[in-house]
Structure 1
Amino acid sequence: MTPMSDLVELLETLCPMFVIVDETGQIQSVGHTLQKLRPDQPMAQRNFLDIFELIRPKSVTTVSGLMVASCGRLQLRFRDEPRTTLKGLVAPLRNRSGAVINLSFGISILDAVRDYALTSADFSGADLAIELLYLVEAKSAAMEASRSLNLRLQGAMLEAEEQAYTDTLTGLKNRRAMDHMLDQLIQSQSSFALMHLDLDFFKSVNDRLGHAAGDHVLQQAARIMMEETRSEDTVARIGGDEFVLIFKGLKDRKTLTGIAERLIARLREPIAFDNTECIISASIGTALSTQFKTQEWAKVLNAADQALYEAKKNGRSRHVFYEEPAKAN
């Protein structure tokens, strides 16, 4: 007769989720992997059916009944949480009362690996579960690599899209971005105000002090416009010294007048560059989308352009609202 210690050592190597029970169902020994599932609840000397609930065969209610059940196959689960489902095979011990019950996870192995932090060391080297674990690890690594690549590609796409909509000199939106924003506002039938701003005397700064001074002035003007608008507003540079400011949902003329006056006042202040001062001002024309029965942003932009022309014609450094021409009688 094989000594019990030799049997346990053999089972630990071949099937580390074994349970040895006596004829009354009391657990005599348990495999290290199975015990790992309940590290704070030693299973030895407890009754097998106090720990596990039998699912199949349904008619069996005792361990002695399991030992004589046909095929010796069973399905069970833990009585406490997590209620992991297990498969088992009962093998009565010859020349010894009791039986060996070899348990496995079956299709629940992936949940078990997650719930109990199992590794390949917890299984027999010949167990097919090892192959499954390797496949899962390989798939996880491939999925992680794919996810990382997708994130990088998405980041590159977003960066490229942002660059396509950004004026490189000032960091403001460009004309393409303005067109896109206006298309969205028209499609969503949102009301908006549009300011067309032009820097007065900018050409003389460029001619007198050079392009570096002109670029500096444009950058400072862009900064001022961003500071005087809301985060949800769009500020775009659409030409050399031309800018468009779009105010979604804003149609109050008093508020718009206040914004325009602050812009004009700040842009009138001298801008220091290389020990000299650059003097410019700003003329602004504003149109409201609500001034038109059919919303076409080209009409609103053209109306703001007409108002800007009036501001320049009336002496520059001023703000004018677009007014519809009076109908002839």
Structure 2
Amino acid sequence: MILAQGLCSAMVCLGYLTKMLDVFCPMHMVLDATGHISHAGPTAQKLLPDDTLVNKRFLEVFELCRPRSVSSMEQLLGVAGLKLHLRKRDAAQTTTKGVLVPLPDNGGAIINLSFGISIIDAVRDFALTSADFAATDLTIEMLYLVEAKSAAMEASRKLNQRLQGAMIAAEEQAFTDTLTGLKNRRALETIVPRLLEDRSPFGMMQIDLDFFKAVNDTLGHAAGDHVLQRVAKVLVENSRDDDCVARVGGDEFVMVFKGITDADVLGRIAARIIAEVEHPMPFKEHVCKVSASVGISVFAGQVGTTIDTIMSDVDIALYASKHQGRATYTLFSENLRQDGPLSQ
């Protein structure tokens, strides 16, 4: 009778102890004399989310990495009080640290675990939160620091994205003609030197509108702006996404066709542009009529070519078209340069 009462009292005490340990040490486990887990704290149980730890043999769930060669409950009790290094035997193989304390009388023990520096991996692998640790555990502070760092990094990332977006927008604005939405001279003077440096072949056209001044003088600048926008649309429709279409002056445009150096191809594009620009352009109750003169130059990878050189070549070809009676195109040749400047 006395023995039974003693056993009952011991069980009550152990039950009360485990309830306290669930709060103070939620990663603890109670082992019986055979080395089987008789109780597992709530956080310890999360190490085996798809099963229960209770009734499993502790050394079948965990491998003792240091000290080594521990394979029985008797040997476990022999390392009581030492810092233990353990690893789960399943695929996750999460590393933990622990310390074991024998239970009096019944041959069992209590072992408390900690993730140590593996806490970040454990939080990720087992979906742990601050509620899974004792309120006074330094792990909580570490988790708060990690969350604060993550939040700061996310805020920094978003700020960098906004700054990068603002920088791209500012650069785009600086390289864009506000009236037509085309590239401007600054953009052209950035793109062409890169192509020359890489010796990437391209064809260049300079387009100048004929009779545009008459539209401005007779119908006003609103009509002139309308014509420039319509011409810009024609140029974009006769180019590819990789090409550069820029407005470089009042009624002057430059087109750079990457990879196109064939004179016949460039001639057909120029002829199509000239024909489409000549179409009458309605503006309110009026009709605007202009034409286009085009000069063409080709860069085929020649060493020593500069932007000034090729811009001079295409300008000479343009004024040759003007000299021929406008609304036509001319391909640059050295003969044109040798003939000297041509008046408009």
Instruction: Give the TM interval when normalised to the shorter protein.
Output: over 0.9
Partners of 2:301 and 2:31 lie apart in 1 by 89
Q: Which amino acid aligns with 1:56?
A: R
Moved more, 318-327 or 203-212: 318-327
User: Any conservation in 1 of the 2:231–2:277 contact (CA below 8 Å)?
Assistant: yes
SS in structure 2 opposite 1:282?
A: strand
Q: Which amino acid aligns with 1:317?
A: A
User: Any conservation in 2 of the 1:85–1:105 contact (CA below 8 Å)?
Assistant: yes
Could you tell me which residue of structure 2 aligns to residue 262 of structure 1? Answer: 272
SS in structure 1 opposite 2:182?
A: coil
- Per-residue CA deviations over 1:80-107 (Å, capped at 9, x if unaligned) read 1211101010010123320001011010
Moved more, 166-175 or 287-296: 287-296
- Per-residue CA deviations over 1:186-236 (Å, capped at 9, x if unaligned) read 111112211010011111111111111111111111111011001111011
Could you tell me which residue of structure 1 aligns to residue 52 of structure 2? Answer: 42
Partners of 1:290 and 1:259 lie apart in 2 by 18
1:112-191 superposed matches below 5 A:
112-191=122-201
Q: Which amino acid aligns with 1:151?
A: Q
Instruction: Select which of 90, 94, 97 maps to 2:100.
Output: 90
Could you tell me which residue of structure 2 aligns to residue 192 of structure 1? Answer: 202
Partners of 2:46 and 2:218 lie apart in 1 by 82
SS in structure 2 opposite 1:3?
A: helix
- Per-residue CA deviations over 1:282-323 (Å, capped at 9, x if unaligned) read 110001123965211211111111111011111111111011
Partners of 2:170 and 2:282 lie apart in 1 by 34
Q: Which amino acid aligns with 1:286?
A: I
Following TM superposition, by how much is the alpha carbon of 1:142 offset from its aligned partner in structure 2, in angstroms? 1.0
User: Any conservation in 2 of the 1:193–1:286 contact (CA below 8 Å)?
Assistant: yes
Following TM superposition, by how much is the alpha carbon of 1:273 offset from its aligned partner in structure 2, in angstroms? 1.2
User: Any conservation in 2 of the 1:192–1:251 contact (CA below 8 Å)?
Assistant: yes
Gaps of 5+ in 1: none
Does residue 242 of structure 1 match 2:281?
A: no
Could you tell me which residue of structure 1 aligns to residue 36 of structure 2? Answer: 26
Structure 2 CA distance for partners of 1:319 and 1:57, relative to 1, 3 Å: same
Give the alignment's Cα RMSD to 1 decimal.
1.6
Does residue 58 of structure 1 match 2:68?
A: yes
User: Any conservation in 2 of the 1:66–1:72 contact (CA below 8 Å)?
Assistant: no
Structure 2 CA distance for partners of 1:187 and 1:27, relative to 1, 3 Å: same
Q: Which amino acid aligns with 1:66?
A: L
Could you tell me which residue of structure 1 aligns to residue 307 of structure 2? Answer: 297
TM-score (norm. length: structure 1)? 0.96
Partners of 1:45 and 1:98 lie apart in 2 by 13
Partners of 1:24 and 1:293 lie apart in 2 by 86
Following TM superposition, by how much is the alpha carbon of 1:146 offset from its aligned partner in structure 2, in angstroms? 1.1
Could you tell me which residue of structure 2 aligns to residue 11 of structure 1? Answer: 21
User: Any conservation in 2 of the 1:217–1:271 contact (CA below 8 Å)?
Assistant: yes
SS in structure 1 opposite 2:128?
A: coil
Instruction: Select which of 80, 86, 104 maps to 1:76.
Output: 86
User: Any conservation in 2 of the 1:268–1:279 contact (CA below 8 Å)?
Assistant: yes
SS in structure 2 opposite 1:58?
A: coil
User: Any conservation in 2 of the 1:72–1:91 contact (CA below 8 Å)?
Assistant: no
Structure 2 CA distance for partners of 1:291 and 1:9, relative to 1, 3 Å: closer
Following TM superposition, by how much is the alpha carbon of 1:70 offset from its aligned partner in structure 2, in angstroms? 5.6
Moved more, 289-298 or 102-111: 289-298
TM-score (norm. length: structure 2)? 0.92
User: Any conservation in 2 of the 1:183–1:297 contact (CA below 8 Å)?
Assistant: yes
Partners of 1:118 and 1:43 lie apart in 2 by 17
Instruction: Give the paired residue count.
Output: 328
Partners of 1:199 and 1:310 lie apart in 2 by 14
Structure 2 CA distance for partners of 1:262 and 1:84, relative to 1, 3 Å: same
Partners of 1:183 and 1:294 lie apart in 2 by 11
Structure 2 CA distance for partners of 1:183 and 1:3, relative to 1, 3 Å: same
Partners of 1:290 and 1:114 lie apart in 2 by 57
Instruction: Select which of 294, 301, 314 maps to 1:284.
Output: 294
Identity, % of aligned pairs? Answer: 51
Structure 2 CA distance for partners of 1:42 and 1:199, relative to 1, 3 Å: same
Could you tell me which residue of structure 1 aligns to residue 342 of structure 2? Answer: none
Runs of 4 or more, structure 1, over 3 Å off, are: 290-293
Q: Which amino acid aligns with 2:320?
A: E
User: Any conservation in 2 of the 1:289–1:297 contact (CA below 8 Å)?
Assistant: no
Following TM superposition, by how much is the alpha carbon of 1:18 offset from its aligned partner in structure 2, in angstroms? 0.7
SS in structure 2 opposite 1:38?
A: coil
SS in structure 1 opposite 2:335?
A: coil
